[in-house]
Structure 1
Amino acid sequence: MIQKWRSFSQPVVNLVARSQALKKIIISAGWLAVERIFRMVISFFVGIAIARYLGPEQYGQLNYAQSFVALFSSIAALGLDGIVVRNIVRQPSRKDEIMGSAFVLKMFGSLFTITLTIALIMLVRPEDRHMQWMVALVSLGLLLQSFDTIDYWFQSQVNAKVKVYAYALSFFLVSMGKVVMIVLHAPLIAFAYAGLAEAVIIAAGLLTGYRLYGHSIRNWRVSLTCALEMLKDSWPLILSSLAILIYMRVDQIMIGEMAGDHELGVYSVAVRLGEMWYFVPIAIVSSTYPSIVRAKETSEELFYERLQQLYDVMAFIGYLVAIVTTCFASVLVSLFGREYAAAVPLLLCYIWIGLFVNLGVARTSFLNTMNYTRLQFVTSLMGCLANVALNVLLIPRYGAMGATVASLFSYWLQTHGSCCFFPALHRTGAMQTKAILVPFRLKQILSQLHIRSKGEYL
């Protein structure tokens, strides 16, 4: 048994030992994973307490407000994250100019988004003052997210420590605050204030960490030329991110409007359980993206080799989480209380969306590196339109289950199915198909890993 374990593990050990870059990626991904696991554990139990305390109807109202703001949050972000990281990696000497310009762009984007969101909720629910206040409070957090620009620099350095500290501390403090609010029987609006407080603490943490690393935002410079260059690359990403968020969150808005807040509360439990592990693909892609960019500059062969490895890892994680969640779905939902029992069949279907979410997150590395931002927008729009159309058809008849089926199909279409329609995406689509078949390729992958560990890892 020991000999078998050594023969299995030694290729992995040798591979890591031969690549300092790979070590850095693993360390950075590890930091992000620790922070996200910490958040996931606390969020899981605090989320259960909040859901039990509020009940399906009020819990549905809270998720409605959060989803309504999330629909337009991509406008505030301006699709700059991948663009800024890519530009800093390629032109480190222009760091202060790139970051200063990105910060100002995000500030203006946030102000516009806040105004738009408040105006729209007043049109959608003109008589519901309580929901209007909740949406306004949640949207104010977008302004503070402009300081996420600092995190882009740390991503370019494959350094996740500061982000981990800032996010973990803020999340812990706010989570404890929510527990206190439950004990004190706080009203629903208090939980919207808690979200705003979390954004304040995160911004303060990022500023402190940036300063500790010997940098200051006072050195940032705003360049109109640089800002226009980034907007030229990012405007399709703004639209594609908007489309993605629409088909990620519009189902909750439509359930709330077409089936009621109670149905939305039940559906929100399935969504929370189905999405609580999405930090894993985001952490992996955030840590590997700089190496993907450098691989493209080295050779096409290395670039596509690393992309296939990324797709394979993402697919494997998707299958693993889906199978485990399927086995324990009833137990997980029961923790929220009997009122949410109808979420079990929803979760059994919703959890498989994660496979295509993983592949979609990985595909952004390919699209950003190749600067295929317009294709990203078009494919996202395809998924968005399909989701909205299916929601209109299915929610009135099947309620939350109809929204779940619509989401599953639209995620597949946006990530994998759309690759069939564009020649530039044929190769990456074939790579995704190969990754989807990863359960049948495990023996082959381990064999290749063993062979590579005996040679030089580029």
Structure 2
Amino acid sequence: MAFQLDPASDPTGATALLEDASPAAPPQRKAGLLPNRTGTVSRNMTVALLGNAFPPLVALFSGPILAQALGVDGRGAVAAATAPLALFVTLATFGIPEAVTWAIARKPASARNAAGRGMLILLVAGLFATAAIVFSPPLLSGGDPDVQSLIVVASLAIVPNLLVGILRGVASATNSWRLVSVERILSSTLRLAVLIPFWLTGTLTPLVATVTVAAMPVVGAFVYIGRMRSLDPRALQVPPEARMLGLLSYGSRMWVGSLSGVLLTRLDQVLMTPLAGTHQLGLYVVAVSISELPLIIHHAVRDVSFVNEAAESVDDRLSSSARISTALSAFAALVLGVSMLWWLPFLFGEGFRESIPIAAVLLVAVVLLTPGSIAGAGLSARGRPGLRSLALTISCVINVALLIVLAPLLGAMGAALTTLAGNVITSNLNLLFLSRVFGIGVLQFYGLRRSDIATIGRYGKRMLRRKTR
């Protein structure tokens, strides 16, 4: 979602908002010198919002299907099988998709060079990751042979998922946000379209669900075929950032933070089975799917801003984006938190009523993370991704320690409280680092200013005008 207006109407630059993580360290510019590309950024944000909204919304529909067809234990088995897939896909990226996006955004002529090298790196890494799961002892399955078999099946999708990440990175760097949105919409829709017939015929099993969840994201690769063919030929003079060492250098710096971030959000699902059993994991994944809905706006902003922030950096815009993102996340969390008392048991079944308090804790965790997440993006954008990675790494270590203690005692609620603690630590460390290094006050990221409310109103009016054209 873009709350970016004409710079002339807002000399502070606060309404040109929602710029997120960038790999570069762009020079500070006065807001009045910002290029007049408001409309383009606004459209990109809106398109990205639609694409980011689809997966969690589809998950909200597919979740009840899986829950009612498989039960709590069966749903937990599918989650136990697919959680390692998500974790190892992150482990094997080494930040290469982000590095490819960064290299192409800086040097568009190097798109084919960067994409080719990025795919080669991830192909090798993906094969090693797949082998690590296939030949690993059944620790992640909690000793259950059926769950272990599902984990091996899901691992076969690691390499294809990694390569799709490169294709998505190329499209993002070239501002082909419609393709990115179409890919996400198509993958999510196909997953639902495959699950429904099996559910209606009573043939939906944990194996079918695992294959569907693991394989459907790969289908989105076909969306990018035309874009890849239209890239310029390989450049004879390859810039340093598009070479192997350049991609690995930048990617490794981003990878530490990205890995820690994913560990904070996904490791609990991977460890839940051995620590608390599949029943508690089944409750937890339902709560997680609900709590991720308020992240839709923030993710859209982050994806588009990853490219835009490489060119310019404005303090007011950064803090304004944090305030508005937090306010909108809090509003969405409040609506979900109150309404789920009625619709969650109806959609997922009475067996999942225990997920309600767990989801409430996770919704609070999402809201409290937002200001620091934008601050962490600011650190990366200003050439200090190491500080963001440090904040995430510290939080990850504390998170794992708390999870090992609380999950066996409190089950899914223990994992939720662990996530809450990790998010609070990450957010405040990012804010502290940004304040110390760049002098941006911590309080600038909290509250809601009159200018923020005006920005939201103007953006809403713009969207209404577009719909009525």
Q: What is residue 270 of structure 1 aligned with on the other side?
A: 287
Q: Is residue 205 of structure 2 the alignment partner of residue 195 of structure 1? A: no
Q: CA deviation at 1:12?
A: 10
Q: State the distance in 1 between where 2:438 and 2:184 align.
A: 33
Q: CA deviation at 1:389?
A: 1.1
| Cα distance change on mapping 1:428 and 1:49 into 2, 3 Å | farther
Q: State the distance in 2 between where 1:348 and 1:61 align.
A: 24
| Cα distance change on mapping 1:182 and 1:445 into 2, 3 Å | closer
Cα deviations by residue, 1:167-192 (Å, 9 ceiling, x for unpaired): 22232122111111212323211112
Please tell me the residue identity of whatever aligns with 1:340.
F
Q: What is residue 343 of structure 1 aligned with on the other side?
A: 355
Q: CA deviation at 1:427?
A: 5.5
Contact 1:141–1:195 at 8 Å: present in 2 too? no
Please tell me the residue identity of whatever aligns with 1:426.
R
Q: State the distance in 2 between where 1:12 and 1:325 align.
A: 35
Q: CA deviation at 1:345?
A: 1.0
Matches within 5 A, 1:39-58: 39-58=55-74
Q: What is residue 49 of structure 2 aligned with on the other side?
A: 33
Q: What is residue 130 of structure 1 aligned with on the other side?
A: 146
Please tell me the residue identity of whatever aligns with 1:162.
L
Q: What is residue 206 of structure 1 aligned with on the other side?
A: 224
Q: What is residue 62 of structure 1 aligned with on the other side?
A: 78
Matches within 5 A, 1:76-225: 76-120=92-136, 122-125=138-141, 127-145=143-161, 146-184=163-201, 185-211=203-229, 214-215=230-231, 219=234
Q: CA deviation at 1:413?
A: 0.8
Q: CA deviation at 1:444?
A: 4.8
Q: What is residue 316 of structure 1 aligned with on the other side?
A: 327
Q: CA deviation at 1:121?
A: 5.1
Q: State the distance in 2 between where 1:249 and 1:449 align.
A: 32
Q: State the distance in 2 between where 1:385 and 1:314 align.
A: 27
Q: State the distance in 2 between where 1:449 and 1:223 align.
A: 43
Q: Is residue 251 of structure 2 the alignment partner of residue 239 of structure 1? A: no
Q: State the distance in 1 between where 2:435 and 2:89 align.
A: 27
Q: State the distance in 2 between where 1:206 and 1:247 align.
A: 30
Scaled by the length of structure 2, the TM-score of the pair is 0.82
| Cα distance change on mapping 1:182 and 1:292 into 2, 3 Å | same
Q: Is residue 310 of structure 2 the alignment partner of residue 293 of structure 1? A: yes
Please tell me the residue identity of whatever aligns with 2:183.
A
Contact 2:112–2:231 at 8 Å: present in 1 too? no
Unaligned 5+ segments in structure 1 are 1-9, 297-302, 452-458
Cα deviations by residue, 1:33-89 (Å, 9 ceiling, x for unpaired): 223333333321221111111111110111112222222222222113333222222
- Sequence identity, in percent? 18
Contact 1:170–1:201 at 8 Å: present in 2 too? yes
Q: CA deviation at 1:132?
A: 2.4
Contact 1:285–1:361 at 8 Å: present in 2 too? no
Unaligned 5+ segments in structure 2 are 17-33, 459-469
Is the helix fraction higher in 1 or 2?
A: 1
- Matched positions, count: 429
Matches within 5 A, 1:381-396: 381-396=393-408
Q: State the distance in 1 between where 2:411 and 2:371 align.
A: 28
Q: What is residue 6 of structure 1 aligned with on the other side?
A: none
Q: State the distance in 2 between where 1:326 and 1:305 align.
A: 31
Higher RCO (CA-CA < 8 Å; seq separation 6+): 2
Question: Secondary structure in 1 aligned to 2:416?
Answer: helix
Q: What is residue 414 of structure 1 aligned with on the other side?
A: 426
2:298 to 281, 293, 305: 281
